[in-house]
Amino acid sequence: MHVAEDAPMVRQPTLLQAWIPLLALMALLALSVHLFGNDSSYGPNQIALLLCCGLAGLVGLRNGWRWKHIQEAMSHGVMLAAPAMFILLGVGALIGTWVLCGTVPTLVHYGMQLMHPSFFYPAACLVCAVVALAIGSSWTVAGTLGVALMGVAAGLGLSPVFTAGAVISGAYFGDKMSPLSDTTNLAPAAAGSELFAHIRHMVWTTGPSFALALLLFVLFALGHNDSDAAGFDQLSQALAVQFNPGLHLLIPLVVVLVLAIRRVPAFPSIAIGALVGGLCAVLFQPDSTAALGASDGRSHGMALFAGAWKALFGGYSGASGSEAVDELLNRGGMASMLNTIWLILCAMAFGAVMERTGLLERIIRSVLAAAKSTGSLIVATLATAVGTNVVAADQYLAIVLPGRIYKPEYERRGLAPENLSRALEDAGTLTSPLVPWNTCGAYMAATLGVATLDYLPYAFFNLLNPIVAGILAYAGFKILHLQPPTPQVLHKQ
């Protein structure tokens, strides 16, 4: 537990105290969904998180913490989320300019020509997996290819929730297995293992999970052999007339992928991609850009500049004459991400207070005390990572915090650190997009336009991997030891 230098003597929280804010949050979130349904993430969930943040703060005050330390924790939690919030703003701007310049319409147009409903879901999953493996970023893949694939799915008359599940499954597989990924580097650093040994060890849980996920996507795709041919042709023709698709309109996508491969950080890569999209809009779609920025007394040149600027902050809005095209493309802009940022702010404040006052650590240590066998220890690690994603609302904390707490126990039992780093990624990385108020869940919902709880049942890889990891742990399959375990540990296994 972190203690500030000028902190008073504080009492360790009881297990009951630790559970009070968490149980209250569960109850309020359930009530929020009951009362407001799909609108619960547009304010009600934020209120629930803030109320429980206050409740956790009251428990901290009761145990001797000062208000200034609790407020510092909230500020620190928000600071941790600042990079994610800037990336969200960048993605909003990128979507707006990429629609305006024709990048997204071109990807949708060509995607509808190349993809068939009978293999769309597994193909979408594989494409996202390959690109994420190459660049090491699930967020970049979702914000670029994922947006286009959602449009292709709409054009083919396919399910948006299945498509979002396929995009997320593929993106997180590639992210998890890429040596370029930040979480793939963070997990072995937290556990004390070597990067490539960590990746090799993950193959045993990740490979079967991804194969099962692909099989499920194949089976679901086979049930969608039919599509609305008339609607398909109408949408394709409308896109062709409105944006005149061509390979030159993919320049912004190529720029972002090159920057990602060259290890340029996510925010500047996405911001540059958004600006390149605005420039391409002025060059290649001058009529649409001028129409977006048109105003009384404004010259054509200023209207072009204003249109590109408006796409950055307000997104694309147009009237093409096709309801399907307008519904598909009228989106994006930084403003579209503000509600998601609000959700992240509230979630990170709650998680930070839970962490600073020792409530989260108290819950984790109670779980650790119940883990007697090797299998139960690994399952406890998986469960703790999932729980930290829920409570702390951040995948990095879900990796670092359990890694810090569980590492001595793994060493005491003679277990290689690769076991711990694999478990941290199997659950910490993969379940983060399944929590609506987690930074990853909020990002994916805002970027793909599908609510987190709607796509959750179809993010097959993210759901299966922790389960497969738990089963293999109890089976004792591919558990690495630093040294022969003691007779006592063998007896417990």
* Dihedral sign, Cα of residue 349, residue 358, residue 470, residue 187: positive
What 3-state DSSP class applies to 415? Answer: strand
Tokens of 326: 């307008």
Distance between CA atoms of residues 381 and 112, nearest Å: 43
What tens digit of pLDDT does each residue of 6-64 get?
556 889 999 999 999 989 988 998 898 889 887 887 889 899 999 999 999 999 999 99
Distance between CA atoms of residues 95 and 113, nearest Å: 22
* Dihedral sign, Cα of residue 408, residue 414, residue 417, residue 419: negative
In which band, very low, low, confident or very high, does the pLDDT at 484 lie, cut at 50, 70 and 90? low
What tens digit of pLDDT does each residue of 379-408 get?
999 999 999 898 888 888 889 888 888 888
In which band, very low, low, confident or very high, does the pLDDT at 3 lie, cut at 50, 70 and 90? very low
Top-confidence residue, 323 or 149: 149
Among 93-97, 111-115, 371-375, the range with the most confident prediction by mean pLDDT is 93-97
The chain-wide mean pLDDT, for the chain, equals 87
Top-confidence residue, 2 or 154: 154
Whether the pLDDT of residue 297 is over 90: the answer is no
Tokens of 302: 């200023």
Residue 275: the pLDDT is 96
Residue 163: the pLDDT is 95
In which band, very low, low, confident or very high, does the pLDDT at 427 lie, cut at 50, 70 and 90? very high
Say which residues have a Cβ less than 8 Å from residue 237's Cβ, sequence separation at least 6.
Answer: none
Whether the pLDDT of residue 135 is over 90: the answer is no
Q: Domains of the chain: which residue ranges?
A: 83-336
Distance between CA atoms of residues 233 and 413, nearest Å: 63
Beta partners for 415? 481
**Which of 385, 389, 382 shows the shortest CA–CA distance to 469?**
382
